[in-house]
Structure 1
Amino acid sequence: MREQNHSAGKELQHRTQAEAPGIKSWNSQAYTLGAISNFMSTFLTFPIYKVVFRQQIHAVAVSEAVRQLWHEGPQYFYRGIYPPLLSKTLQGTLLFGTYDSLLCCLSPVGPHSLRHRWAAGFMSGVVEAVALSPLERVQNVLQDGRKQARFPSTFSILKEFNSYGFWGRLSLGYYRGFWPILVRNSLGSALYFSFKDPIQDGLAKQGLPHWVPALVSGSVNGTIICLVLYPLIVLVANMQSHIGRQRMPSLWASVQDVWDTRGRKILLIYRGGSLVILRSSVTWGLTTAIHDFLQRKSHSKKELKD
């Protein structure tokens, strides 16, 4: 039975890889389900994310971050959720759709090499960074408790950004902290797509249900990648918490500030890492499992029609 399950999984993988780019790249069901899974995961894990964000900004323990949110009241608990809901829904589309499109351009006929998967993942991360950085910027300002009085809503933040000149809107407004975001997203996507299939294939040999290898693969990948890139996450959160027309700290000055305020200790940089593990495991595990399930159903229906 184990051998049959593994063979079926490998057959589906090779058939999927060898399909024409037009068919594989525009699987509308995969885009839709990817968007839905990201939407649901973001909503469920948003409280965890908000606690992590407070730790990144104030370098406090979990209990203190929770106390801050409790003191602010339930009306502010989900403050700032709309930008991440929108960005993660778009991310679910861009992450898998752009990757598949680029992979088919680089390697029209499978199986795809590690080099092609890495390159396609890296470039999809670049596209994701360009498209979603403005949403992440607004989200981080909304979640900073110090900005609630001055910027009570998304509209107030957008009004502030749009009051700048053209270059000010980009450098001081929507794309503040873009370069660390670009590095984080491109490397994260490249690592995720490079190692997702090998981990999943290895687990499939054990004869597990199809959704288990995908769930575990997504969880392991998301957790490891997030922890490796966690210093960049902290840097982005701190850079994007700044707002105003005045001259903002440069990238290097921001790095130095984060390092100094964390007592020049790696352990304090990683404060909040335990919650990142939980959030990443849930988010990437669900997203990977649902996307894999959708691919299988899509190909099964196509085979029945043929």
Structure 2
Amino acid sequence: MGPDVQEEAQVLTRTRFSHGNSWKHYTAGCSAALANILLTFPVNKTMFRQQLQGLRVTSALCQLRSEGLRQLYRGLLPPVLQKTTTLALMFGLYEDLSLTLLDAVPDGTPSVAVRSLAAVLAGSVEAAFMPFERVQVLLQDRKHCVRFYNTLDAFKQLRKYGLKEYYRGLTPVLLRNGPSNALFFGLRGPIKECLPTASSPGRHLLNDLFCGGLLGALLSTAFYPVNVVKVRMQSEIGGEFRGFSHVFSLIWHERQRNVSYLFRGVHLNYQRSLLSWGIINATFELVLKLL
């Protein structure tokens, strides 16, 4: 057997091995999501109030304090159901789609382009589970506290408006998911390579924590206005489905055409993302190694 044939056989073996072990990426992604949600939910809820109402952090915290501990974790179930599923898909589908596309594209196609496409496709598939994110917004919104008893009740009440109502705000979700996925997976490796070489498991964990946290903070800040529009769109029930540009224009005028008002809550957002994506990335890599 010649060297070229041997090399081709080794590549095929590695590909089959990776496909056979892709379940580990789904499991690690699910575990990472669960660890993150349990640790960061109160911070996320404070930021949500700032996004929706344009409040300062002290005012948002006062609101939550006055509502009590029971209300603080109201809306926890939807993100648990959504994030464990979507992060499992984010990491697992990215791995599967990358391998499938790399096998299918012509020789010489840049792997960066192929993996970026895989990341965008994985992010678009995640949007199928948007109803959980939609219900979470409704349960966290102060004006809906009396209207919806719990997660199941919110899902039941939305049913009378039709399937489309569950996907209100789909456009900003797609605008956020695909590009942010591509940047996250594309930059994760190069950033980690710039860090000091890890000489112990603990140092590996710190590098993963830093790398994920840095990327999460940068990307969530870049896409923060998109999330502000998404929250406004998803806080509405029934009536006209207003487009992304229309809702953005409304918010822009409401906040006096001031960019700093549009970014209210961004400080807490990047701090939360720094912690959140650090936990996600570090937990993912740790669980993947354990598996």
Classify the TM-score, shorter chain: 0.7 to 0.9
Q: 1:141 to 1:40 in 2, by over 3 A?
A: same
Q: 1:136 to 1:252 in 2, by over 3 A?
A: same
**What is the CA-CA distance between 1:17 and the residue it aligns to?**
11
Supply the distance in 1 between the matched residues of 2:180 and 2:57 (Cα, whole angstroms): 26
In the alignment, what sits opposite 1:138? Answer: 135
Query: Structure 1 residue 220 and structure 2 residue 218: aligned?
Result: no
**Offset from partner CA, 1:145-174 (integer Å, 9 cap, x none):** 10111222223322222113xxx421xx11
Equivalent residue in structure 1 for 2:190, among 198, 201, 208: 198
Supply the distance in 2 between the matched residues of 1:272 and 1:88 (Cα, whole angstroms): 21
Query: Structure 1 residue 243 and structure 2 residue 237: aligned?
Result: yes
Equivalent position SS for 1:161? helix
Equivalent residue in structure 1 for 2:144, among 119, 143, 147: 147
Supply the distance in 2 between the matched residues of 1:195 and 1:44 (Cα, whole angstroms): 25
TM-score by length of 2: 0.88
Query: Structure 1 residue 62 and structure 2 residue 73: aligned?
Result: no
Q: 1:126 to 1:248 in 2, by over 3 A?
A: closer
Aligned pairs, number = 277
Q: Mark the runs of 5 or more structure 2 residues left unpaired by the alignment.
A: 1-9
Amino acid paired to 1:184: R
Supply the distance in 2 between the matched residues of 1:210 and 1:135 (Cα, whole angstroms): 33
Q: Mark the runs of 5 or more structure 1 residues left unpaired by the alignment.
A: 1-14, 299-306
Equivalent position SS for 1:156? helix
Supply the distance in 1 between the matched residues of 2:270 and 2:54 (Cα, whole angstroms): 18
- 1:147-166 matches, within 5 Å, as 147-164=144-161
Supply the distance in 2 between the matched residues of 1:24 and 1:16 (Cα, whole angstroms): 12
In the alignment, what sits opposite 1:268? Answer: 261
**What is the CA-CA distance between 1:258 and the residue it aligns to?**
1.2
Amino acid paired to 2:185: F
In the alignment, what sits opposite 2:204? Answer: 210
User: Considering only aligned residues, what root-mean-square deviation do their CA atoms show, in Å?
Assistant: 2.4
**Offset from partner CA, 1:174-228 (integer Å, 9 cap, x none):** 1000011001011110110010011112225475732222221111111100000
Contact in 2 for aligned 1:21/1:101 (Cα 8 Å): no
Equivalent residue in structure 2 for 1:189, among 152, 173, 181: 181
In the alignment, what sits opposite 1:122? Answer: 120
Over the matched positions of the two proteins, sequence identity in percent amounts to 33
**What is the CA-CA distance between 1:119 and the residue it aligns to?**
1.2
**What is the CA-CA distance between 1:83 and the residue it aligns to?**
0.2
Equivalent position SS for 2:74? coil
TM-score by length of 1: 0.83
Amino acid paired to 1:81: L
**What is the CA-CA distance between 1:24 and the residue it aligns to?**
4.1
Contact in 1 for aligned 2:25/2:95 (Cα 8 Å): no
Supply the distance in 2 between the matched residues of 1:35 and 1:90 (Cα, whole angstroms): 6
